């Protein structure tokens, strides 16, 4: 199931709840908790991701804090490879490298352990997260993976908010795949 049918995509989309005006007025939040507790939709998604990535010889999946952990860790387990968290600054206990990125009002930072990929060059890595909006966090995560000398194979998202065009920004860095374009 490397390619989802429109019906399968709709099953996954229907399992995601919209929360209007969260976290602030005018925002429609895509709540994945309803996907996670829908065993058929979640299995469909994970089966699809496993089929897509099983032949890519990946060595690690790097999940972006925090919803990227939800999809990245089980996918890494299914593929028999390692999982690496990309966390918000100050959350990792060992030596890290950080990357700053711009928010609507200010800046934030993400970090990764220096030895996340065991300091091997050209380690094949997939970055995963739940949603791409403007692409700032994902671009910072990509820079971190590349700074470790790993080979960033692709950036994967459950949902792509196409109207914000974050995917265009990221396609300049690496291949981008989204399960659902919204």
Which residues are annotated as catalytic? 67, 104
Annotate 2-39 with DSSP letters as a single string.
-S--HHHHHHHHHTSEEEET-SSTT-EEEETHHHHT-H
60-64 and 124-132 as β-strands: parallel, antiparallel, unpaired? parallel
* Measured distance CA(131)–CA(66) in Å, rounded: 11
- Which DSSP string do the residues of 53-119 spell out, in sequence order? HTTS---EEEEETTHHHHHHHHHHHHHT-EEEEEEETT--SS-EEEEEEEETTEEEEEEEETTTTTT
Nearest CA to 113 out of 133, 97, 131 is that of: 97
Give the whole-angstrom CA distance, residue 39 versus residue 36: 7
Find the radius of gyration of the CA atoms of the chain. Answer: 16
Contact 163, 50 (CB under 8 A): no
């Amino acid at each position: 199931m490397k390619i989802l049918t429109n019906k399968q995509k709709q099953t996954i989309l229907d399992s995601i709840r919209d929360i209007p005006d969260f976290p602030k007025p005018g925002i429609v939040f895509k709540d994945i908790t309803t996907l996670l507790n829908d065993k058929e939709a979640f299995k469909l998604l994970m089966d699809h991701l496993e089929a897509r990535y099983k032949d890519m010889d990946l060595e690690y999946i790097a999940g972006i804090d925090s919803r990227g952990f939800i999809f990245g860790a089980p996918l890494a387990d299914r593929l028999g490879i390692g999982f690496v968290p990309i966390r918000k600054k100050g959350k990792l206990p060992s030596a890290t490298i950080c990357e700053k990125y711009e928010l609507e009002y200010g800046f934030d930072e993400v970090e990764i352990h220096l030895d996340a990929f065991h300091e091997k060059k050209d380690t094949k890595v997939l970055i995963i997260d739940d949603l791409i909006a403007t692409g700032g966090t994902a671009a910072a995560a990509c820079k971190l993976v590349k700074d470790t000398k790993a080979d960033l194979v692709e950036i994967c998202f459950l949902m792509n908010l196409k109207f914000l065009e974050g995917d265009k920004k990221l396609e300049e860095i690496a291949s981008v795949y989204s399960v659902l374009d919204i």
